[in-house]
Amino acid sequence: MTKIVVAITGSIAAYKAAHLVRLLRKAECEVRVVMTKGAKAFIAPMTLQALSGHPVVDDILDPAHEMGMGHIELSRWADQIIIAPCSANMLAKLAHGLADDLVSAMCLASPKPIHIAPSMNRLMWSHPMTVNNVQTLTDSGRYVMIAPESGEQACGEVGEGRMAEPEHIAARLMADRNFEDLPLQGKKVVITGGPTREAIDPVRYISNHSSGKMATALADAFHSAGADVTLVLGPCEAKPNTAVTIVPVESAQEMLAAVESVITEAAIFVGAAAVADYRVETIATHKMKKTAGEESITLTLVKNPDILATVAMRQDKPFVIGFAAETDHVIDYAKGKLAAKGLDMICANDVSNGQVFGQDENHIVIIDTNHTEYELKTDTKQNQAKEIVRLAIKKLAMQK
């Protein structure tokens, strides 16, 4: 049974911590709750005690608790520690090594990576000092950021800074539980995700229904395994829950250029993007107008670069994983793509009848160079991503 400490700091999002504790208990984790004094202004310790099944600890100077050096004991007891919500104040404390309350002291005494789910006003989140503190914590290798989300905030403003939803945090913790030994520590992974947009004129473009959810789930899973992840991401709403490097792009040509700029020394490349096969040969410089009496127009399309094949042909070729989104003869087409492009592994999706694109679940068949098939039955994309990472780690080890 995984043992998790949920640390709560002074933020309006503290009420969400109750749901997080419930989710972790449902996942058969043993949970203990630690609170700062500020957190108690937003949610009662009794609520967390009832949900966790353990007394809540909130005072570093509590004689009964500290007789056993409570902050040390908690840091050693826990398999994982999550601070949710983590205020701007706590971020600053941790970044500067302060230990003046139970939460910060426990974190300083912990030998394990600590997950942080920040929560604050959008201006506080974007403030240069907060940005520096987040970077300091991430660079230390001891803290794992579960990025805040964008939306309406308690103050009435709209922007980035809302704590990630408890479901996302719980899923992230469960994903990290599976990679505690960080098998990809020191390895570089590059992933493409989302759609591309191929301009017709300054207003219109050709694109597809890719949501980017599979790619962001893969980014989180590879990051959980210890990898240094760069995600080259087309225009989409999906964002990783972890502090991976995101390179935003629009077109297929931009995506290829971005990949080539970061691919050197990569151990693994995952082509999860739905790259447009064609682009308009000549992009109109002004918005195209309808012409009276003209019932149709003709656009000349030319092939886009094949990013997967380009990476697979490199002299310093990484382990290359492709995706095949097909509507019929899914396995046959995937095997053909695997061979034609020189891939090491391919993940086949049946996207007929509106499946997969934009959905939270997926059904995948993974095929390797021996044409061995590994079926991943319908499950969340987060869980599918973990299985893909496990298999990639195994295959990568076999190549040595």
Residues 6+ away with beta carbon under 8 Å from 144: 113, 114, 115, 116, 176, 223, 242, 243
For residue 15, the model assigns a pLDDT of: 96
Residue 59 backbone phi and psi in degrees, to 5: -135, 120
Q: Which residues are annotated as a binding site?
A: 277, 287, 305-308, 323, 337, 341
Question: Are 118 and 235 part of one and the same domain?
Answer: no
Separation of alpha carbons 96 and 133, rounded Å: 8
| Beta strands 158-162 and 149-152, pairing class | antiparallel
* Structure confidence at residue 356 (pLDDT): 62
Three-class secondary structure assignment of 87-149: CHHHHHHHHCCCCCCHHHHHHHHCCCCEEEEECCCHHHHHCHHHHHHHHHHHHCCCEEECCCE
Other C-beta atoms closer than 10 Å to the C-beta of 65 total 18
Helix or strand run (H / E) with residue 31: strand 30-35
Q: Are residues 158 and 211 in the same domain?
A: no
Same domain, residue pair 114 and 259: no
Closest-CA residue to 115 (of 20, 248, 185, 251): 20
pLDDT tens digits for 340-376?
Answer: 999 999 999 887 766 667 677 778 999 999 889 988 8
Question: Which residues on neighbouring strands pair with residue 245, listed in sequence order?
Answer: 230
In this structure, are 154 and 189 located in the same domain? no
> What CATH number is associated with residue 82?
3.40.50.1950
| Domain shared by 98 and 196, yes or no | no
Question: What is the rounded CA–CA span in Å between residue 149 and residue 159?
Answer: 8
- Say if residue 216 is in the same domain as residue 94: no
Say whether both 64 and 29 belong to one domain: yes
Residues 280/298, Cβ–Cβ less than 8 Å = no
Strand order in the sheet with 245-248: 245-248, 228-233, 188-193, 268-271, 319-326, 345-350, 361-368, 373-380
For 276, other C-beta atoms within 10 Å of its C-beta total 22
DSSP 352: G
Cβ–Cβ < 8 Å for 21, 51: yes
Domain boundary among 177, 211, 246: 177
Res 379: pLDDT: 81
* Shared domain check, 237 and 100: no
Cis peptide before 85 (omega within 30 of 0): yes
Ranges of the chain whose pLDDT falls below 70: 60-71, 175-181, 353-356, 358, 400
Q: 222 and 316: one domain?
A: yes
End-of-domain residue from the set 145, 177, 209: 177
List residues forming the annotated binding site for CTP. 277, 287, 305-308, 323, 337, 341
Predicted confidence at residue 66, as pLDDT, reads: 44
Of 177, 211, 232, the position where a domain reaches its end is: 177
Q: Does one domain contain both 343 and 391? A: yes
Q: What CATH number has the domain bearing residue 206?
A: 3.40.50.10300
Residue range of the domain that includes 341: 182-287+295-399
Q: Which residues of 291-306 are buried (b: 16+ CB within 10 A; e: fewer)?
A: eeeeeeeeeeeeebbb
Q: Are residues 250 and 332 in the same domain?
A: yes
CA dihedral over 321, 325, 331, 336, signed as positive or negative: negative
Sorted by sequence, the CB contacts under 8 Å of residue 362 that are 6+ apart come out as: 214, 349, 356, 376, 378, 379, 380, 381, 384
pTM above 0.85, yes or no: no
Whole-number pLDDT of residue 304: 96
Number of domains in the chain: 2
Say yes or no: 114 and 99 in one domain. yes
Query: Among all residues, which ones are annotated catalytic?
Result: 155
